[in-house]
Amino acid sequence: MCILIVEDDATLGRAFVMQLHKLGYIADLAISAQEALDKFGDRTYDLVLVDVGLPDIDGLELTSKLRQCTKERKDKLPIVGITAGYATREQCIRSGMDDFFQKPLMYTELKNVIEKFDPQNCKAC
């Protein structure tokens, strides 16, 4: 399972990536919405964790753009919003996100989020 983390706080983003590596997953970090969109040309992702409060394009708008990029997929790309209070669950779900979590997202919560969208526990890309 390949996971894209979209987090403008590079330190927090690297922490997410390290936690995912400990769980056995492959993860990439994008520190802006534009970088996330660019990465979609390089790799197919199985899950996206997106900060709702991004400075260039917010996570709600990015979700809409990602849905456009992936509309040809057979399966729906799971997108999970992570926020420090910039949006409500309703706003996230309405934007097309599949779930929503508040920061800080601790290791156990992160593990639960991943397992929710990876029922086969598939660790490889």
Domain coverage including residue 9: 2-117
Task: Please check whether residue 122 lies inside any domain of the structure.
Answer: no
Predicted confidence (pLDDT) per residue in 64-90, tens digit: 999 988 887 777 899 999 988 767 788
The CA distance from 57 to 43, in Å, is 21
Task: Please check whether residue 125 lies inside any domain of the structure.
Answer: no
pLDDT band at residue 26 under the 50/70/90 scheme? very high
What is the pLDDT, as a whole number, of residue 110?
Answer: 86
Counted domains in the chain: 1
Predicted confidence (pLDDT) per residue in 37-65, tens digit: 999 878 889 999 999 999 889 999 999 99
Identify the CATH number of the domain in which residue 23 sits: 3.40.50.2300
CB 101 within 8 A of CB 80: yes
